């Protein structure tokens, strides 16, 4: 089965180059191209599994954050970043990007990154992932989880799971962060959805962000 990919960039050259690379592999199916910051219409229409976005676009991180908050589920890979600013990369992952590719990334790296992200994992350096988890852990200590009436329904562990999941971590990443199994994370999520009368991660993310009174931190980023 093909991996459905949408391309997003203001640069026709950027889009055509990626399309040519992806079309050479039968595993990939390019289902659309997006110009400018408005992506939701094409995403709803073409249902891509991966959104391969130009990291140099002015609104790239805002788009990542918007898609995450709306619960829309193409996994975003930012391509063409400078790759020398770990803090920017951390902010990109926090904004919802699932993979970061530097300008110097090879075709082979691009193809591997798409496959890895499609499988639900992150494509980033271990150093950047460690920095991201550190920031998420810190924010979990100083940020309210959700409105008090809802917070009281969740156990301390369930609150931790919510915090990490809505921050963009996969079940596997969440299990690694908390020192529990992936199956346990899934069990926690099932109980959370039942307690909050939600249908899935998208609704959980939307409710979580709607409940926050504090604005999110500024975004940034990319890696190789």
CA distances 199 to 81, 108, 110, 178, Å, are: 35, 37, 33, 24
Neighbouring C-beta atoms of residue 191, cutoff 10 Å: 15
pLDDT one-digit tens code per residue, 171-185: 888 888 888 999 999
Contact 113, 101 (CB under 8 A): yes
**SS3 at position 58:** coil
- Counting residues of the chain whose pLDDT is more than 70, the rounded percentage is 79
**What is the rounded average pLDDT of the residues 24-48?**
85
Q: Does 107 score more than 80 pLDDT?
A: yes
- pLDDT value at residue 125: 78
Top-confidence residue, 132 or 145: 132
Q: Does 2 score more than 70 pLDDT?
A: yes
- pLDDT value at residue 191: 92
Top-confidence residue, 114 or 206: 114
pLDDT one-digit tens code per residue, 7-30: 999 999 999 999 999 999 999 999
Contact 24, 6 (CB under 8 A): no
Nearest Cα to 171, choosing from 158, 182, 184, 187?
A: 182
Q: Does 213 score more than 50 pLDDT?
A: no
Average pLDDT over the chain, rounded to an integer: 81
CA distances 8 to 12, 27, 148, 205, Å, are: 10, 19, 39, 23
- pLDDT value at residue 223: 43
- pLDDT value at residue 86: 80
Q: Does 219 score more than 50 pLDDT?
A: no
Q: Which domains does the chain have, with CATH numbers?
A: 3-125 (3.40.50.2300), 133-211 (1.10.10.10)
Overall pTM > 0.85: no
d(CA 50, CA 36) in angstroms, rounded, equals 17
**SS3 at position 101:** strand
- pLDDT value at residue 176: 82
Top-confidence residue, 144 or 135: 135
Q: Does 222 score more than 60 pLDDT?
A: no
Q: What is the DSSP string of 168-201?
A: T--HHHHHHHHTS-HHHHHHHHHHHHHHHT--SH
**What is the rounded average pLDDT of the residues 153-161?**
87
pLDDT one-digit tens code per residue, 64-103: 888 877 776 789 999 988 767 788 888 888 888 999 998 8
The burial of 147, by beta-carbon neighbours within 10 Å (0-12 exposed, 13-18 middle, 19 or more buried), is given as middle
């Amino acid at each position: 089965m093909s991996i459905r990919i949408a391309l997003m960039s203001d640069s026709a050259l950027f889009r055509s180059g990626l399309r040519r690379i992806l079309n050479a592999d039968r595993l990939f199916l390019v289902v659309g191209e997006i110009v400018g910051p408005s992506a939701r219409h094409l995403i709803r229409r073409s249902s891509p599994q991966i959104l391969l976005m130009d990291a140099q676009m002015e609104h790239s991180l805002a788009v990542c954050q918007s898609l995450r908050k709306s619960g829309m589920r193409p996994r975003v890979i930012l391509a063409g970043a400078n790759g020398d600013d770990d803090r920017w990369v951390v902010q990109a992952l926090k904004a919802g990007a699932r993979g970061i590719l530097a300008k110097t990334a090879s075709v082979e790296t691009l193809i591997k990154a798409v496959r890895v992200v499609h499988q639900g994992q992150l494509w980033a350096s271990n150093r950047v992932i460690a920095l991201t988890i550190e920031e998420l852990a810190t924010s979990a200590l100083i940020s309210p989880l959700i409105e008090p009436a809802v917070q009281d329904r969740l156990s301390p562990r369930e609150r931790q799971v919510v915090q990490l999941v809505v921050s963009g971590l996969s079940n596997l990443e969440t299990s690694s962060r908390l020192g529990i199994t992936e199956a346990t994370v899934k069990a926690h999520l099932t109980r959370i959805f039942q307690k909050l009368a939600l249908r899935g991660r998208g609704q959980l993310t939307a409710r979580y962000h709607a409940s926050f009174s504090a604005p999110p931190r500024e975004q940034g980023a990319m890696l190789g």
